[in-house]
Every structure is written in C-alpha cells, then in structure tokens.
A and B are shown apart, each in its own frame.
Chain A
C-alpha cells in the first residue's frame, strides 16, 4: 500500500495539470470561436499572416 504515496500525488498532479491547461486555453481565447476552430482544423492551410509578395 506504500505505492499510494506515489500514486495519489501523481494522479492529483496530473489532474491539476489538466485543470491548468484548461484555464490557460480559456484565457488565450480558444473558446471564443468554437465554430471557426472546427473548420480551421480541416482547412487546407492557414492563411498566412505575412504579406505575400505582390
């Protein structure tokens, strides 16, 4: 049962990482446009943000 000393903090730590990841994604605006994000995933390529040579 001593293994609990490792497993429980490990499980909690992983959960906490998940939570922090979620909070970070929320803060960086990843939930602002759920519909657009769904389409962007399957788009051919991201429109470039650099000025193309005209």
Chain B
C-alpha cells in the first residue's frame, strides 16, 4: 500500500491563480534562520512569496496554483534543518489577534489626541497666570474639545463596552468607575467651556484613557503571544491519521481533515488520533493517557478507542465516531461542565478591589458636593469640585496595577517554560497550599525508558538499539531511544507479536519476547524483582540479555517535591494506576499521601473534600481522566504532552521534561501577587494624598495630570520587579 501525504486541508485559494499556506516552524530564532529559510524556499520554482514571521515562528508561503505540492515545502525545510508543519489558525487565536489590533488602534487614537490636547493645554496652564486673553483660552478649550470628544468616544470603547456588560449583569468591574469618570469629566469640561471658565479637564480624561489602554494592550499582546506559541506546538505535533480511501489505498491526512464515519488504519506503535470503534483486527492498546492505567487492554471488533490510545501489537481498522458517542468521553464532559461552573465563581483581585473602590469613590464625590453646598458654596462650584474628586480618583494607577504585573510575570513564566491559559490563574496559583499530582505522564515521563541500562554492555546495547529500529513496538522504541540508535540494520525481519530477528556478522540476533529469544529465566528473574516493568530480550548466538523497560520519573521530580514541601505546600499523588506502581513512585519521591486506582469522579470528590476544608488545591495532571479534576481544582497545570482536553482545561501548561516549571510558576505567581497587592496599596496611598486636595477644591487640571501620570509610572515601574523572584531561582 502506498501512503500519500495530503495537506489540501490547509491550502487556501487566494484567487488570481495563487495558493497560500501557513507553516509552523520549529527552531527559528534568529535573523540567520530567517534569511536561510526565505532564500531556501524562494529558490523553489513557482514560489511567489516566502516570508518568515519571527515573532510567531511561522512561514507564509504563496505559489502558483497547482504547480507544487505543499509537502515539498516541508521536505525542503527539513533539508534546511527545520521541522515544519501546516498550521491552521484556531478561532480563539484569531479573536485574540483581532482584539489586539483593535486595542492598538484605540491606543494610537488616544495617544494622538493626548499629545495634541497637551499641546493646547500647556499654553493655557502657563498662560492663565500671565497674559493670556480669556478669548484665546476659550478658543483653546474648544479646540481641545474638538479633539478629545471624538477620540474618547472611539478609544474608550473597550472600557464602555465592558462596563456596560458588567452593569447589565448587575456587577461592578474596574471599567465602571473608569467610564463614569471619563464621561463626567468630558461632560463637565464642555459645560465649563460654555461658561468661559478657567479650568477644563479634556487633557486629564484623554490621558487617563491612553495610560489605561497601554495596560490593556500589554495584557492582550502577552495573551496573544502565548496563544500563538501554544498553537505552534499543537501544529508541530503533526497529528495525522491514516485514512482508507478505497480498497487497499491509504492516505495520510491531518487529523483536522478526518470526518466521522471515515475508516482509519491504526498500525502498531501508532497513537490513535481519533475516537472510534474497532471494526477489524485485534491488538493490545495502551490507554494510560486516558485512564492512567498502565496495563494494556485488549482491543477487538467493537471495542471503543479514544484519541491518545497507543496501539501496541496488531494493526486495527477504526471507524471514526462522533466524539459525543463515547461513554467515557461523555462522562468526562459532563463532569467537566460542572467543575468549570464552580470555578467561574472565583472573583479576581481586580474585581474585588473595584467592588470596594467604586462605591467609596462615588460616595466621596457625592459627600463633597453636599459638604460644599452645606457650608455655603454654590451648586455649580460644589458639583465642579465633586467631579474633580472623581477625576483625580479615577483608577488610572488601579487599572494598571494588576495588568502590568500580570504581563511581566507571564513573560517571566514564559521564559521559564510555563504557558498561561487564563489570565487570573496567577492569583489563584499564588494561594496554593496543596498540590495533587497525577502519576502517569505527570510525575513520570510520557515515554518508556530502559531502567537497567547500566548492567548491559555498551556494545550489546548499541546493537540492540539498531535492531529495535526495525520494530514499531513501543517497548522496542524505548530501547532504540535509550541506545540513541540512528542507523537501522539491513535485512531485519519483524515477526508479528514475537520480535525482530536478522543476521549480523554471521551470527543470528533477535530482539523481542523472552520466549522468542529463549531468555525466559532471565526475564522472570527481573520480573520477580520488579513486577511493574515490561521486559524485552536480546539474543546473539549463546548470549542473552534482558532489558527492563518502564515509565521513568521525571529527572527532577524528587527535587521538585521536596522544594514544594520546603515551601510549606502539601504534596499528594492521586492516580488511576494500580496500587503497587503508585506506592513505588510515592515511596521514591518521599510522598506520604497517595491514592491509587482512583476514578475521575473520585478524584473530584477528593478535591471537593479538600476544598471544603479550605485548602487551595493545585492539580497537576495530563490524562483525559484528569480533565474534570483539573477543572475542579483551584488551579491546574498540565504537561505539554497531555491529552487535548486536559491541556485546554488546565490554567497553565508546562514544556519539556523537567518538572521544575511547577516550582518556577508558583514562585513567580507568589511574587506577582505580592506586587499586585503592593501596587493596589500604592494606588490607594496616592488617592489618600490626592483626594483631600480634590475635596478642598484646589485641584487644577495641571495637578490632576501630574498626579495621574506620576502614579501610573510608579505602578508600572514597580510591576517590572515581577521579572525576578526574590529567592529560590534555579
């Protein structure tokens, strides 16, 4: 059977005879790579555009329609030393990108207006003390209004919309006082201009919007960067499925192109990329990614298989089902919905602050108005003073206090190998005092590893590794990986269900089941010591060796567990795996609390139980069976190797083999929460200073502008400290 690669799913037709494709490329990091790739791809005839985006690590390609097969670009990039795969922008990312662009446009408009209004305001401020004529002042005020009003109407949209949404659901967020403050300041300024008064606040209102938009834009662009990076990782996983097109003809297509009802071929050693039912064939499958159970399950006609299952021994044909049909998936989805609802009740620090803040500020402004009226001021003067209070307390620093820290902290986490899925996870992560780990794929590495490599001669190990390259079996793959084998041997035959054999230097060599290699005795010896391992035997002439293969703990798991304990965080293992395996892992890591054989529902029950006792739980897990508990926990984290659903549910995703990002994330978020609180207090302190001045009625627009930019700068500079963690950086 001849397999063809079919990327037509990703190719966009631009019209005018051109086709377009976006590729995610791994390892593009410098200008050198950029020009190398662009030259390399432009050299292909009929390519009309090859442009690298260094920020997103992507390449956009255009070529004359029908002239080229997109697979050729991927091959060409592989020759140049880059792994690439077609990329499809997911909706979430497209929405973030649009938002980001809209905010930048608002920021541009607001910044333009601020600069021009300032240009008009400074002569008024300096001139009103000297020789400026009232007519000139009025003229300048009118000009300011002309610029500020339309600019605020446009650039204020993000705040007005969000405030409106919050009010409609009878909530208060930070945008409510912002919107009220800006609107009142502008309205009062117009009235004052009409009355030929000395002070207007067009400059303060529009400057406030500019500063706040800076905060919003920073926040948004960080989120967009994380999304784009996560999107690339997903694309580079290059998940494909082998679809049966006709009798005996197969085609390798991206998973995104598979429809329910299609029949896919699942060969030994392949991970299933779809949910479906087996219609032909018999094999063992490893469902550890789905259930956490490391023992293999037999799959035959009628067995349901899920995305993430690893096929071990025989070829299977699978009919793709709609995702909702799977009983396991349906159950998990239901649990997930409930758990997510519970989490949305968490109130972010910013919203809690604004709930306290809005009533206090508005009450102060009202009291100021009535106070002035009581002591004999005119209604007009009292209202002007009241609005000055609103302007000076407008939460400029408060609005920046949290987003700036979040941006800086998430940038630091990004560099430490942690991606944030949700913005408020930093706050929740900082409060964690109990961490629950899943075992399989989280504390352990997702791939198998040879554990007794020290007891096997290097030369035998190398030979066995090269021999193992001929097999698709995951245990053989582990041997090949551990031996770092690159060049396969010639003339090796695979005997299904037994192993591989061949002749090397005139001697027969075999790798496979102990019985196949006549090494049962040796294998039983190893199995009696450690029943959890899988064994694979090697035979050369009369020589016998047995490799013990099992999931290995992440290299720094022990250090991370003790570091967590040193920070006063309780650590617990809750796994769906069997008791001996979990006990062994817990013992090695020095974790006294562990539970084995736990179902998804029981995992949630355990988390709920801890929650009721007021414990803030972080769940770290990767399997499909962990997804509901990831959602139920106060905060959750997944390795990048996790099942799709889990990754989408987790608040944070960490990259790479080490577990250290877990510690880094906790340290950074604790530091960040500390700084957020500090920033809020800075903003409050500023208000304590400024409000009495405003209430006393001596605030001029100059004082308002100076106070506002001063406090904003202070808060932004303080936020930069979130890059560094005070202690315990690795």
Task: Say whether A39 contacts B30, CB under 8 Å.
Answer: yes
The proximity string for B residues 63-93 relative to A, scoring 1 for CB distances below 8 Å and 0 otherwise, is 0000000000000000000000000000000
What bracket does the count of chain B residues touching chain A fall in?
20 to 34
Contact A33–B56 (Cβ < 8 Å): yes
Q: Given A8-B143, A22-B108, A39-B30, are A1 and B43 neighbors across the interface (CB < 8 Å)?
A: no
Q: Which residues on the A side are within 8 Å of B47 (C-beta)?
A: 51
B52 near A36 with CB under 8 A, answer: yes
Contact A39:B45 (CB < 8 A) given known A22-B112, A33-B56: no
The yes or no answer to B596 lying at the interface (CB within 8 A) is: no
Chain B residues in contact with chain A, CB under 8 A?
Answer: 30-31, 34-35, 38-39, 42-43, 45-50, 52-56, 101, 104-105, 108-109, 112, 115-116, 119, 136, 139, 143, 147
B122 shortest CB reach to chain A, Å: 12
Residue A3 lies at the interface, judged by CB distance under 8 Å to chain B:
no
B42 touching A51, Cβ below 8 Å = yes
Chain A at the B interface: SS class: helix
Most chain-A Cβ atoms within 10 A of its Cβ — which of B55, B115, B139, B147?
Answer: B55
In the complex, per-residue mask of A3-14: 1 if CB is within 8 Å of any chain B CB, else 0: 010001001100
- Docked Cα-Cα span, A44 to B139, in Å, equals 53
**A12 with B48: CB separation less than 8 A:** no
- In the complex where A1-B136, A19-B109, A47-B42 touch, is A32 in contact with B30 (Cβ < 8 A)? no
Beyond A12-B147, A19-B108, A32-B55, whether A43 also contacts B31 by CB under 8 A is yes
A48 to B105 Cα, complex, angstroms: 32
Q: A1 vs B140: C-alpha distance in the bound complex, in angstroms?
A: 13
Q: Chain B contacts of A34 at CB under 8 A?
A: 55
- Residue from A22, A47, A49 with most neighbouring chain B CB atoms (10 Å): A47
> Chain B residue with minimal CB distance to A11?
B119
Contacts of B143 in A (CB 8 A): 8, 12
Contact B31 A39 (CB under 8 A): yes
A40 and B48 form a contact (CB under 8 A): no
Cβ contacts under 8 Å, A50 to chain B = 42
A35 B43 Cβ-Cβ under 8 A: no
Contacts of A22 in B (CB 8 A): 108, 112
Check A23–B45 contact: CB distance below 8 A: no
CB distance from B141 to the nearest CB of A (A): 13
A36–B287 CA distance with the chains assembled, in angstroms = 42
Most chain B CB atoms below 10 A, which of A15, A36, A42, A54: A36
Q: Which residues of A contact B45 (CB under 8 A)?
A: 51, 54
